[in-house]
A = this chain, B = another copy of it.
Amino acid sequence: MVRMTGQMDGTDNTDGEFRGYRDTAAVDVVPSPRAVPGDSAPVALLPEAEPVRAVERQLDEILAAVPEVDPIELAVLDAQGLLCAEEVISQRALPAFDQAALDGYAVRADDVVGASPRAPIDLAVVGESLAGASAPSSIGPGMALKVSAGAMLPAGADAVVPAVWTDQGAVRVGVHAGPPAGSYVRRAGDDVAPGDPAVQVGTPIGPAQISLLAAVGRERVLVRPRPRIAVLCAGTELVDVGTAPAPGQVVDVNSYALAAAARDAGAEAYRSGILPTDRRRLTEVLESQLLRSDLVLIAGTFASGGFDVVQEVLAELGEMRFGQVTMHPGPAQGFGRLGRDKIPVICVPGEPVAALVSFEVFVRPAIRLMLGKRQLFRRTVQAIAGQPLASPLGYRQYLHGTVMRHPDGGYVVEPVGDGTDALLARMARANCLIVIDEDVTEVAAGGLVTVMPLLLGG
């Protein structure tokens, strides 16, 4: 699968002289209408002061730095989707009392041994116990009590004869089959005994856990909370979405898209919008976001040198590192831990497609780690490439694509657009990211690639 070639679009393979050149170009993945002529391969090295960093190393640094957010107590319905952060011990037995498991007649099993449709055994019906009735009753030999499912079992009874096994009489009942002692009876504590753990630390709370928490009498529960994430964007070219952009200006889409992505990943995201350009105001905004957030996410076009006012202010607030990561799109990444509480700050590129790709690669796993999830990363599948795919050598390429099930089994994936530079409308048609490893420069049509389906929710 690894071919050392500068050919990117798979349609024009006449010029081989440029091989090796494009492979070393950090951002060179837009195919030209024709191959670019050239004599040899100049190697464009980045300055030594700013080493290029592997995706995994950047991710490891971020994951090592994200804080474990302190557990909070929430109303059980608000705990949905979060992880339980306490050992919930039941003070109660579940069920709370011996009860009928279905509608029928509570009996003494000894009384109905040998009953059959041809030789039914007759019992006196001494009353009825409905679900919710609190007066305890009892039966003696030769007696039955009509019961509904969930009703208290009378003292003396040790089995329930299902109604359909009887003549369903009201005063006397003819029993057609005698179940053994214990049949169709739910004993107190069968499900949960007092002192038993009901919901354990680390259990994801869904409807079934909420059902159990309510049953043991819990209205509130301690959980790993949703991390609070402030989403900001930086750039003198940016205007808010309500403003018609002047020539050269660009609407702030990233604070919306990244806040949506952060919510989808499980965070409580606050869209704080465009950072001010005035240095003092900028410092104030950043400081206040650091105080109220578990993580700060900033999208912007940051120069590697750090001469930008935003970069300068960030550097004043703590240790902040901007540099190139070996990924495309979005090699320009920043990370630091700022403020008194060393809050993690992740800076992603301002180009909206690169911003959302960077979110998938670095921010979503960080949010899931803060939520306490075991599975930090999206599931990937192998898919057959429907067309040739190109990737710069040494860079992990993320292409938006559409993945479909193949009628013969497995999956087929096609990049959106021309398979190189996803723009917004193209990205919106994608349902996956195609991931092409650093050491692969070309995938032939029919070759296998790794695909990360971008399902919403969960």
Chain A interface, number of residues (Cβ within 8 angstroms): 125
Contact yes or no, A39 B118, CB < 8 A: yes
Contact yes or no, B210 A103, CB < 8 A: no
Q: Does A133 make an interface contact (CB < 8 A)? A: yes
Interface positions, chain A 1-35, Cβ under 8 Å from B, are 18, 21, 24-28, 30, 32-34
Nearest B-chain residue to A117, judged by Cβ: B42
Interface positions, chain A 196-219, Cβ under 8 Å from B, are 196, 198-199, 203-204, 206-215, 217-219
Complex CA gap A161/B198 in Å reads: 65
A393 to chain B, nearest CB (A): 13
Q: Does A368 make an interface contact (CB < 8 A)? A: no
Which of B37, B117, B241, B456 interacts with A114 by CB under 8 Å? Answer: B37
Which of B136, B210, B423, B458 interacts with A94 by CB under 8 Å? Answer: B423
Complex CA gap A260/B82 in Å reads: 12
Nearest B-chain residue to A301, judged by Cβ: B131
Nearest B-chain residue to A256, judged by Cβ: B214
A138 to chain B, nearest CB (A): 14
Q: Does A284 make an interface contact (CB < 8 A)? A: no
Contact yes or no, A206 B30, CB < 8 A: no
**With A235-B132, A301-B149, A457-B81 as given contacts, are A102 and B30 in contact (CB-CB < 8 Å)?**
yes
Which of B119, B208, B217 interacts with A257 by CB under 8 Å? Answer: B208
Complex CA gap A241/B213 in Å reads: 9
**With A186-B423, A424-B191 as given contacts, are A260 and B77 in contact (CB-CB < 8 Å)?**
yes
Complex CA gap A398/B245 in Å reads: 57
Q: Does A224 make an interface contact (CB < 8 A)? A: no
Give the residues in chain B near A377, CB-CB below 8 Å: none
Q: Does A123 make an interface contact (CB < 8 A)? A: no
Contact yes or no, B177 A212, CB < 8 A: no
Complex CA gap A25/B117 in Å reads: 14
Q: Does A439 make an interface contact (CB < 8 A)? A: no
A194 to chain B, nearest CB (A): 13
Q: Does A222 make an interface contact (CB < 8 A)? A: no
Pull 25 A–B residue pairs with CB atoms less than 8 Å apart, ordered by A. Answer: A18-B177, A24-B164, A30-B101, A30-B102, A34-B180, A38-B177, A77-B256, A80-B264, A94-B423, A94-B425, A96-B247, A130-B237, A132-B248, A148-B301, A150-B237, A152-B248, A207-B264, A208-B428, A210-B253, A211-B253, A212-B424, A212-B427, A213-B256, A214-B252, A217-B251
Query: Which 10 residue pairs of A and B lie closest in terms of their CB atoms, listed nearest first?
Result: A132-B237, A191-B423, A44-B164, A211-B257, A457-B458, A134-B248, A457-B457, A207-B261, A214-B253, A132-B236
